Structure 1
Amino acid sequence: MEYSSYGIFRQIAALNPDKTVFHAVEQHGTCITCTNTALFSNVKRLAARLEHYDMTKPVLLLYTGSIDFVVAFLACQAVGAIAVPMFYPRTQRHFMRLQHIINDCSAGLILCEASNLAVIREGLAALHIPEERIAGTDWSDENMDSAAFAAATGDNNISFIQYTSGSTGLPKGVVVTQENIVSNLQQIQETFSCDQDTVVLSWLPFYHDMGLIGNLLQCLYTGCTCVLVSPVAVVQRPESWLQLISQYKVTHSGGPNFMYDLCIEKVDADRLLEEGVDLRTWKIAYNGAEPVKKRTLDAFAEKFAKLAFNPDALFPCYGLAEATLLVAAGTYRPTAGSLVSSGKICRTFEVALLNTETGEVAEEEGEIVIHGPSVTSGYLGRDNDSLFCNINGKQFLRTGDIGRIQAGELYITGRQKEMIIINGKNYFPYDLEHEIAAAVEALSFNNVIVSYLADITELPLVFAEIGRHTNPEEAAVILQQIDSVVIAVTNISCIDIVLLGPRSMPRTSSGKLQRIRCRKDYLEGALEKVIATKRDIPIPVDALANLAITINPDNLEKIADFLRLLINQTLKLELKTSDFNENTELIALGIDSLKGVEMVNLINHYLQLNMEATRLLSFRYVKDLEEFIANLIWLRNVESAGEKITI
């Protein structure tokens, strides 16, 4: 076999050309299938087109569809271009973040679906990105001639650049080589016992390492089948994850700890049992990307035993983008203590522990450092010296995680970095603090602390100190502004926001903020000079019902008032009419996916509609949601009058 990842994928696909490699399940349950032959035919067609561009510079991939993304990614590999997988931008803040990434990696070409080309060009035009650097791909375009492309011309040692989600201010690009990716894919195949009969279900974002490498590329490397579903759809309806596992007889699927917690809290196992959901084919239920909790594993196994879920399928794992992906994994074995093993360390890795104070090798517990062919060279264009250490003449990557090694198994006991882990993504407090202070005029850069509270996931907890000249009556507006910033960055609303009076934030003698002490004082009720908190704002609950009675499809202003009150109730804010206009973005208001489901339920309840739970976050602007609701109300009224409507 060829050594390049693309060469390996192509040769494995050629062994079984008619096999379905991807099932893409869409919002309404329809499914798009893709065989190996169709996949690589489309790859060659796009590769032929890419040869007309300068492929010496990285190519940014901005896709909404997972199969479209895979085709673009493989086409980049085929022509030797460095791919840069990235989230699809939906807000101006997203485009601003993309500007840094485009400049950081010196991207030469930006690819997206042809159907999204106008939106991407418009968003990037404001950042002065010329439209000739942005191209749309459409597999129905017969002008993309695959005959012009010679197989596997790519020879670039760098496969792709994986931008970490950890630093919200200035994302850093991890440089992943062909050797890195092939070595890690081999380790995943061995550790997870993947073969051609494996069926993977992936709901994880395909632009992040676990979704991209652990699912999409692993399926191509193994020659198995992958079922693809939207992350939003699964987070909003966690039962759909289990239903699809049963329907497609999935053998391998998983995600961060929070998804298992969502199933425990939200899914009705008895109802799924009545539907005939059967999880007996699920052999590997991996759990990683954030701290694995023993109580979660035990509770999940107990709750879904009635659906034939085998507790031996639970598979904790540990990895990081700087090591390509996987470092350790293994079957969960319940113990008396609270610590959970992350499994056996993968065969090609050497793992050691460093004393966090002396920097010397530790025997029992210390910072986890790793060496092996999957370990990357670090971040693009950064001074990476501090990222590595030398042990016996070998270079080890410093992970920043604290752990132990017992009988060849890795245990994560803490983390050295001050970070918040939300739904499997890392956020450094100081980056979030910078974002908040920059966006909220009433705050300054050294007067914001971001911490977290652990619920079903780690939820942002913000402390902000207002100045002497800030009017306390403006507290509700400041709270809303802070929450909007946090939700725009993390997609999660703050669990609480605390506004403090002047000079009340805990600091060291040198003036540095004390995050740990502030969180401790909050939990113990010992904070002083508290002016307002997010949880204290009164909400006029009855106003929703009263307003709903007056709404008709011809009065968008009434619908806007209803939505404003609904957001106030759902997010515990106090938005004014002036906060709503035709350019107001829903995400910027502080609506995450879970709150979006709650809002849809309330809309259906008060307005007697049947709006689908996944529809709300498909709208970018408030005006689009208003018009959609108006159409639903009109349709409801016509049908109530006995008229038959065909749509």
Structure 2
Amino acid sequence: MTISPTTTTLTAALRARAETTPDRVAFRFITDAARARPEDALRIDYAGLYGRALAIAAALAETAPAGARVMLLYPPGIEYVAAFFGCLYAGMVAVPAYPPAGVGRPDRLLSIAADAQAAVYLTISEMADACRRWLTQTDGQSGIVGISTDQLPAAAEEKSPAASGDAGQVAFLQYTSGSTGDPKGVMLTHANLLANTRALAHRLEVGPDDRQVSWLPPYHDMGLIAGILQPVCSGHETVLMAPLTFLRDPLCWLEAIDRFGGTYCGAPNFAFDLCVRHAASPGRLAELDLRGLRTVFTGAEPIRPASLARFADWFSANGFRSSAFTPGYGLAESSLVVTMRQPGAGAGRAVQVPSAASLQETDEDTGLSAASVARGCVVPVGEPVEDCVVRIADPATRRPCPDGIVGEVWTSNPSVALGYWGKPETSVEVFQARLEGDETGRRYLRTGDLGFLIDGELHIAGRLKDVIIVRGENHYPQDLEETVWRSDPRLRQGCAAAFTVPATELDSTRPGGEADGEAGEDERVVVVQEVARPIFDADADAITRTVRKQVSTVHGIPLDELVLIRRGALPKTSSGKIRRRAARQAFVDGTLPQVGGAGTADQRHTSAAERPAAVPDAAASVRDRVLHALRTALRLPALAADDDFFEWGGDSLRAVEAAAIAAEHGVGFDVHLLYRHASAAALAREIGPGGPGGSSAANSEELRRMLREAITPVADADDYPLSPIQRRWAADYLGDQSKTWGNMSFDVPLDDPVDADRLAEAVTQVWQRHESLRTVFPERGGELRQRILAHAPVPVAVHELRGLSGLDPARKLETVRTGLAATSFDLATGPLTRLAIVHTTDGDLVLGVMHHMIADGWSVLIVRRELTETYRALENDTAAKLHPAVRYRDYAAWHSDLENSGILETARAYWQTKLTPPLPRTLPVDDELLRAAGTRGASVSATVPGPLAAATVRLAAASRISTAVLLYAAFFVVLHRRTGAQDLIIGTPLAGRDREDIRDAIGMYINQTPMRIRFDGCPDFRAVARELQQQLVESVVHQRWQLDRMAQDAGIAPEPDRFPVTSVFFSKMDFDDPLPAGAKAAPVVRLLPTDVRFHVMFYAYEHPDGLRLECRYRHGLFPEEEMRGMVEDYLLVLEELSALGLDVPTTAVVHP
């Protein structure tokens, strides 16, 4: 049952729950580890919560007097809830605050602490040092005392009933999310909060048998009052999760609703867009049941009918009813809720906002203008809740407005706060307004929102002032503007305009960046700023870096666009006030006179998008690969290794994107780690060898330990077992030793003329350094074994092509290359590398071929680099500076021990879930044809023109996915369109170098990993790309479970002519090979071997003219015209994406 009407305080409400239903679960908290195992969620019952709160209250009572303000600095979780109630039982005032994510100066936190005159802060041990740095080293805060509540006793006895306080006592200060420079703490009493929770429970029709599932931030009114206090007052269970958990994987929220039996929940509008974007996981959706979800309240930011309709359409198959949507309206000054639709009524009919043409362009006293009013249609946000009065008033005359006329929303109800802490004059103006002509004496709260009434229901039309809303939080434009112009003396004081534009509108203003709808209706933050004097390009770049950093540090949001314009060009009124809406329109129209040589704002953005951070190569350290990921996610190529990701505009969504990009380059990390170690250097120290954060595959404590400990050398023996990765190649070789599909071709960039003796000595030194290069594979007991030779002479052939008459030199060179690559290796005797010096009229070339059993593609780059360095060192009579390398035999033993230890059961379970039968055969071929076709390879290729390649890179950046994921998704879509198959599996190689100590090692580390897309859950390209990006991150985490083991678990028997799980693969190759300074440029030649291992292998790799596409295939299985058509279709898909964005349907037909 709900709380008694005689209950007057929140503390009495919790005590009543502890006495009447002590064993009932009050809260569960879903940690990341508990997402897949609901039984692992943390939990606390009402008796436990009550006792925990009393223990914290006892500690507070010994530290500060009653009435003191206490800051709550916690990650989301049960301890935060207990600390909040602990403040109330101590008779103190809670001040919820969000701890800054990065390591920069937490200005908003400090301004709140100073305004509230906080005496104590509560936190947990893990955050204690950081909180101390934030709060005790600042002027005016040296006396604040910290308590780590997780170190206190679990429970305590209440010493006095008086600890419950009284109804008129201030319970907590809710600092509004808008202002940093002038923080406003809303004083909410016990009476305010009980009135609002009762009204909310009454409108939602919830009781003790309901269950809420919430990810809403507990520091803000919607998360705290609707997600924590109201459930306590209603006496039911609530399942909580961290906001970041939701942002990383929005579907986990819906899955929790299903698993825990959630009957109602709430979220801002953007959450529904995120769920739809991530709904391309049909394996998860197939089991999702939302039939029990009765009510979904929504508010906190503009409610967009299209977002609700998309969500309802997507999840209707899972039992979701559109009638569950319950839009509402509220604000912190009225506790939370003011109006809300009736449950079961749905979102209601969207109506056109009434004309505001009679309003002046801008009323300088009120700020009310025609442009203040929302364009298009809005949904009703309901009738006033219990005991609440809502009026629409003319903000200038204070007279009531008739129904259907836009005015300011005023409200009078028992939930309205006392006022703003320490701001009596502002409080009187805002909280004690009177309607002109109203004889009742009723006082109203002026909300500052514009709205109108139709049939008793409120509709919100805009803001009286230009508040910027970013993901449900308010930011005042004047604060952003001041932060911008104070960032650099070259910017003109007081001459800035901050505003937002929809993501689609921002993208459409950029060349080649047509609206892609990436964020649905998400807003992007733009500031237009005058310069004080003429500046150059370099000045503009430096100013932009500084400004972005300051905005992120001070306000905690990314600045998406800074537009620097000439002095005097900012639109203003006749009295000198900034005309923000006029500036916004000029930005959208592209008419702002930008300075700094870039021409227009969009051109500057485009140039940055076309200058991505250099792609890390095979030898790149963990730090370099992490840095590349952070730079790419921020679109900031100049980000330094020690720069704070969040100070430079990073946020939770960009953090998820950075993790996906890092995963593509073999480095996985938990997004939470980036919040604690916010620079590339710090994060690399955490996840590298010896770091406590482990490595990319760390999914258990034991695995973390094994991945960061040094590899133990194995004892010397005659031979050694293969690594798990080598076993697949060995099986292929034993099946047919004549095949050449393991051959890899490459060039070595040595200066002319090549000295054969010096090359031979360089080979000897490099081969002595790497055991893999001296390894052969004799057969023993029906299996191959590794045997390391003391010396392995490499044959170096010499070909003289100078002065040949009657022969085409290029054709002759191609013959030499082909002959070198077309001969199979004898793995038992070796050597497994061949080299050739070719003298041509254009200079000397060094060609090489080696077998995959001893090296992968990254190894080839290492061989090229080390041969070049050693050759040049010999030429200069110096020693090459090469670091010791891990022995591959030691790595093979370590990897085998890991695979057989049982530690990888989590990875195994992941792949079993992904590869649930029946498994599709991608591009299926007839068994008889397969046996007769042979393995001879052929290829077709094409070049993606430079402009189209650049547009593809820009589109990926704007859509917050990596270029590799976009290109991979395009191949999935091409196969889907050509075959009509609804379920496809396409493999991709993962580098497997997730240990820092093997980054310079030569050997076979790469693993082929399957990705699966079910197109019945992916109606457009965006859904495919999002699903692939999520799978990629998860695959890197679980990559240690090998493809052969996956096939065994799936019951797939080995077949000589088919690769396990799938025979179709895609690879995005990057060949930014760092060679010694001054070395001759030489491409990494990717010559087609005579035999190909897969049925189809589709490559996309960097090329001077754009992107190079190559489709390698078995000639006997597919006609050349069919493969050529596939490549042409791929180009057409890229052109479609460039023209239409990611909302291109997957079912479109692009070929006759």
1: CA distance, partners of 2:59 / 2:656? 41
In structure 1, how many angstroms separate the alpha carbons of the residues matched to 2:474 and 2:299? 13
Shift of 1:75: 1.3
- CA shift in 2, pair 1:31/1:528, >3 Å: same
Give the whole-Å Cα distance in 2 for the aligned partners of 1:264 and 1:43: 39
Aligned residue for 2:302, secondary structure, equals coil
- Which amino acid in structure 1 is aligned with residue 485 of structure 2? A
Deviation at 1:452, TM superposition (A): 0.4
1:444 aligns with 2:492: yes
Please report how far the alpha carbon of residue 479 of structure 1 lies from its aligned counterpart in structure 2 after TM superposition.
1.8
Decide which moves more: 527-536 or 309-318.
Answer: 527-536
Q: Deviations over 1:441-473 (max 9, x none)?
A: 432332322110123322211212223253332
1:335 corresponding residue in structure 2:
349
1-structure distance, mates of 2:284, 2:552? 32
Contact 1:323/1:374 (CA < 8 Å) preserved in 2?
Answer: yes
Using the TM superposition, name which of 218-227 and 492-501 deviates more: 492-501
Q: Name the CA distance, whole Å, in 2 between partners of 1:102 and 1:610.
A: 37
Of residues 465, 472, 475, the one that matches 1:417 is 465
Q: Deviations over 1:152-204 (max 9, x none)?
A: 52325111111110113221000001111110010011011110111111111
The one-letter amino acid of 1:471's match is F
Pairing partner for 1:16 from 21, 44, 52: 21
The amino acid of 1:570's aligned partner reads A
CA distance in 1, matches of 2:241, 2:678: 21
The equivalent residue for 1:556 is none
* 8 A Cα contact 1:13 1:223, kept in partner: no
Q: 1:289 to 1:106 in 2, by over 3 A?
A: same
Unpaired segments ≥5 residues, structure 2: 1-5, 35-39, 352-376, 504-518, 690-694, 697-705, 712-722, 726-890, 904-1152
Whole-angstrom CA distance in 1 between matches of 2:529 and 2:482: 12
Per-residue deviation, 1:489: 4.3
Aligned to 2:585: 520
Q: Distance in 2 between matches of 1:544 and 1:193?
A: 56
C-alpha separation in 2, matches of 1:521 and 1:216: 44
Against the structure 1 CA distance between its residues 204 and 490, is the aligned structure 2 distance closer, same or farther, given a 3 Å change threshold? farther
Alpha-carbon shift at residue 432 of structure 1 (Å): 0.8
- Which residue of structure 2 aligns with residue 538 of structure 1? 608
Distance 1:460 1:585 in 2: 20
* Mapped contact 1:537–1:574 kept (Cα < 8 A): no
Pair 469,73 (structure 1): closer, same or farther in 2 beyond 3 Å: same
Counterparts in 2 of 1:269 and 1:352: CA distance versus 1, 3 Å: farther
Q: Counterparts of 2:383 and 2:218 in 1: how far apart (Å)? A: 26
Contact 1:96 1:127 in 2 (8 A): no
- 1:323, distance to aligned residue in structure 2 (A): 0.4
Cα 1:115–1:628 change in 2 (3 A) is closer
For the 8 Å contact 2:93–2:172, the answer to whether it is kept is yes
In the TM superposition, 1:334-483 aligns within 5 A as 334-335=348-349, 337=351, 338-364=377-403, 365=405, 366-382=407-423, 383=425, 384-387=427-430, 388-391=432-435, 392=438, 393-455=441-503, 456=519, 457-483=522-548
Q: 1:462 to 1:540 in 2, by over 3 A?
A: same
Question: What is the root-mean-square deviation in Å for CA atoms of aligned residues?
Answer: 2.5
List aligned pairs for 1:467-616, cutoff 5 A.
467-531=532-596, 532=598, 533=601, 535-539=605-609, 544-545=614-615, 547-552=616-621, 559-560=623-624, 562-575=625-638, 579-581=640-642, 584-605=643-664, 607-616=665-674
Give the whole-Å Cα distance in 2 for the aligned partners of 1:427 and 1:333: 27
Structure 1: distance between partners of 2:207 and 2:177: 31
Structure 2 vs 1, CA of residues 514 and 130 (structure 1 numbering), >3 Å: closer, same or farther? closer
**Do the aligned partners of residues 358 and 65 (structure 1) sit closer, same or farther apart at CA in structure 2, a change above 3 Å counting?**
closer
Alpha-carbon shift at residue 336 of structure 1 (Å):
5.9
Asked if the contact 2:609–2:635 (Cα under 8 Å) also holds between the matched residues in 1, the reply is yes
Which piece of structure 1 moves more, 310-319 or 260-269? Answer: 260-269
- AA in 2 matched with 1:390: R
Identity of aligned residues (%): 27
- The one-letter amino acid of 2:393's match is L
Counterpart secondary structure, 2:571: coil
Bigger Cα Rg: 2
Amino acid across the alignment from 1:335? R
CA distance 1:131–1:497, change in 2 (3 Å): closer
Alignment check: 8 A CA contact 2:267 2:298 kept: yes
- For the Cα contact (< 8 Å) 1:6–1:152, is it kept in 2? no
Which amino acid counterpart does residue 443 of structure 1 have in structure 2?
A: L
**Equivalent position to 2:48, from 16, 32, 38:** 38
**How do residues 121-520 of structure 1 correspond to structure 2 at under 5 angstroms?**
121-128=132-139, 133-139=144-150, 141-142=152-153, 146-147=156-157, 149-155=159-165, 157-268=169-280, 270-274=282-286, 276-330=287-341, 331-335=345-349, 337=351, 338-364=377-403, 365=405, 366-382=407-423, 383=425, 384-387=427-430, 388-391=432-435, 392=438, 393-455=441-503, 456=519, 457-520=522-585
Cα-to-partner distance string for 1:543-584 (whole Å, 9 max, x where unaligned) = 643x3322145xxxxx24x444444433223426xx443xx3
- After TM superposition, the score normalised by the length of structure 1 is 0.92
Residues 135 and 473 (structure 1), Cα distance of their counterparts in 2 relative to 1, 3 Å cut: closer
Cα 1:552/1:572, change in 2 over 3 Å? closer
Q: Equivalent residue of 1:390, what SS?
A: coil
Q: What is the identity, as a one-letter code, of the residue corresponding to 1:52? A: E
Distance, in Å, in 1 between the alignment partners of 2:468 and 2:461 is 16
C-alpha deviations, 1:88-116, integer Å up to 9, x for none?
23446553323322221222222111332
Q: CA deviation at 1:332?
A: 2.3
Q: CA deviation at 1:540?
A: 6.3
Give the partner amino acid of 1:135.
G
Query: For the residues of structure 2 that align with 1:508 and 1:131, how far apart are their CA atoms?
Result: 45
Separation in 2 of the partners of 1:75 and 1:445?
A: 46
SS, match of residue 381 in structure 2:
strand
Whole-Å separation in 2 of the counterparts to 1:68 and 1:180: 24
1:37-77 CA distances to partner (integer Å, 9 max, x unpaired)?
11111112222222212223211111114211111111111
* CA distance 1:42–1:501, change in 2 (3 Å): same
The secondary structure found in structure 1 opposite 2:402 is: coil
Q: Identify the match of residue 684 of structure 2 among 605, 616, 626.
A: 626
Q: Which amino acid aligns with 1:496?
A: E
Distance in 2 of aligned mates of 1:289 and 1:296: 15
Instruction: Write the distance in 2 (CA, Å) between the matches of 1:130 and 1:208.
Output: 23
Q: How many angstroms does 1:255 deviate by?
A: 1.1
Deviation at 1:284, TM superposition (A): 1.1
Tell me the TM-score normalised to structure 2 length. Answer: 0.53
* Higher deviation after alignment, 92-101 or 252-261: 92-101
Give, in whole Å, the separation in 2 of the partners of 1:105 and 1:198: 36
CA distance in 1, matches of 2:632, 2:129: 36
Deviates more, 1:4-13 or 1:205-214: 4-13
Are 1:476 and 1:573, in contact at CA under 8 Å, matched by a contact in 2?
A: no
SS in 1 for 2:550: helix
